[in-house]
Each structure stands twice: as C-alpha cells, then as structure tokens.
Amino acid sequence: MIHKLGDIAEIQFGLYEKPLAEGEVKYLHAGHFNNLHKPAKFEESFVKLNGKNNKFLLQPNDVILAGKGHRTFAWAYSLDFGQAIPSSLFYIIRTQSSVVLGEYLAQYLNTEKIQYNLKLIGAGGTITSIPKKELEEIKVHIPALKEQKKIVDFIELLDEDLRLTQELLEKRTALKKGLINKIMSENI
C-alpha cells in the first residue's frame, strides 16, 4: 500500500541548542553517524532536559532524517541507544507504529530512489534544505508489518556482513604492513 509520509507520521524539526561537554541526553549531529547511517561516536555533545525540550526527545519507532546539509540520510531510533535529542539539522518523523516500523521507514528513506528525490526537493541553494511540505508528500510503499520486519532483518544481516568484511580487511592490511616491515627490517 502507498501512503504519503505526512499521512502516516508527524514531522517536526529537531532542537537548536548549544551542546554541552557532558550529560545524559545525547544531542545528535550528522557527524555522529558513519557511512552506513549508524551512530558511531559521541564526544561532548549532550543537552539537559528542561520542560521546553522534552518534545524533541526521541521515542520508540521515531525516525530522524537529515533535512539540511550535504548528507541526506535517515536513522531509526531505538531505546537501546539511550535518551537522545536530534539537532535542528534533522527532521523528527514520529511514525504510527500500527502502520510502519521506524526501521523500515529509515531503510526506505535511504534507498537510492528516495535519496535522489530528496536531493531534487532540497536542491536550489548551496546547502541542501528539504522543505517540510514536500517531505510530507513523499510517497512510501508500506507492506504488512510482518513483511516490513523481514525486510529490516535482511538489511541488518547485510549491514553486519559489511561490518565484518571491513573489520577483516583492516586486520589483513595490518598483517600485510607487519609482514613487510619484518621482511624489510631483516634486509636492512
């Protein structure tokens, strides 16, 4: 079934705030995510909860989408990650869990076709900025929840395979350097 994103989710920008060096609530920026759109590192990027910023606190099944900047990508929030608030670079897409899994929606938004469409929508200035009204009009193909879960599980297996392959490549590269250094030092 095909739905407009605005019909299956509430969309708002994240919070604009100066990050703190330490705290309990992570303050997400694009630089915190690797090339697989996974959170990679957090250093000195926190905010304190106060009554005004609670509405930006990510909830289960939320998806964030980088709507400004040079890198457009989506990521699905999970409670395992801990409390987090995205910066105003991101849209918070609060999905209807009875219709779509956040993980599925993030993967869908990261497909080449949708990424291309998002770049077209955000084009015009020197820095990409996706207007909310156009984002709400994005059409999302949504299969049954069971099928969404199968798709997400398959993609997670592929991501794990990529991670393990990268780790193996790094170890082989280190082994090669070590062997070359040993061989060369014996001949010097």
* Span 27-82, pLDDT tens digits: 998 888 888 788 887 778 899 888 888 899 999 999 999 988 888 999 999 999 98
Percentage of the chain lying above the pLDDT 70 cut: 98
Higher pLDDT, 175 or 122: 175
Average pLDDT, the chain: 91
Q: Using an 8 Å Cβ cutoff, are 85 and 27 in contact?
A: yes
Residue 30 tokens, joined: 């694009």
pLDDT at 108 over 90: yes
Q: What is the pTM of this model?
A: 0.84
Confidence of residue 144 (pLDDT cuts 50, 70, 90): very high
Confidence of residue 122 (pLDDT cuts 50, 70, 90): confident
Q: Which residues of 42-67 are buried (b: 16+ CB within 10 A; e: fewer)?
A: eeebbbeeeeebeebbbeebbbbbbb
Q: Using an 8 Å Cβ cutoff, are 155 and 105 in contact?
A: no
Query: How much is the average pLDDT of 3-25?
Result: 91
Query: How much is the average pLDDT of 164-174?
Result: 95
pLDDT at 124 over 70: no
Spell out the residues 6+ positions from residue 10 whose beta carbon is closer than 8 angstroms to its own.
93, 94
pLDDT at 141 over 70: yes
Query: How much is the average pLDDT of 109-116?
Result: 94
